[in-house]
Amino acid sequence: MCFGDGTPLFQHMLDVLVATDGIEKVVIDTDSATVQKVCRQDYPQVQLIDRPEHLRAGTTPMNNVLLHDISIVDSEFYLQTHSTNPLLSKETLKYIESSGLQMSLQILKMHNPLKIIADDLFRKKTS
């Protein structure tokens, strides 16, 4: 899957993440040989986690994958995004960081009420 300029979506996201001040480490959990090869070649600063066999099924809850990842990568904060999120920009990430937001959720209601795509809703940190 490619972005409008022909760049694979995961590379577009990587370019945004590695260029964003405030993001100290980018980690990719994948079992894709293509993604791993491109990262090793073009993004040596990105940490790769080879997704274990028991977490590869399409029915595996993402929470299980995330719990596995945080058991490997220790951090105070985590930003989780999908490689198919080409609308996320450095500016959006900078805004989230500078405004002290605790959560960012992207949702847009389409004409069909069953389709939800992307609009930014933010919840301020509570004191």
Q: What is the pLDDT of residues 78-101, one digit of tens each?
A: 888 887 776 778 887 777 777 776
How much of the chain exceeds pLDDT 70, in percent?
Answer: 75
* Six token digits for residue 14: 């990587």
Does this model's pTM top 0.75? My answer is no
Q: Is the dihedral of CA 74, 78, 82, 85 positive or negative?
A: negative
pLDDT band at 33 (very low <50, low <70, confident <90, very high): very high
pLDDT of 52 above 50: yes
Question: Per-domain residue ranges for the chain?
Answer: 1-82, 89-127
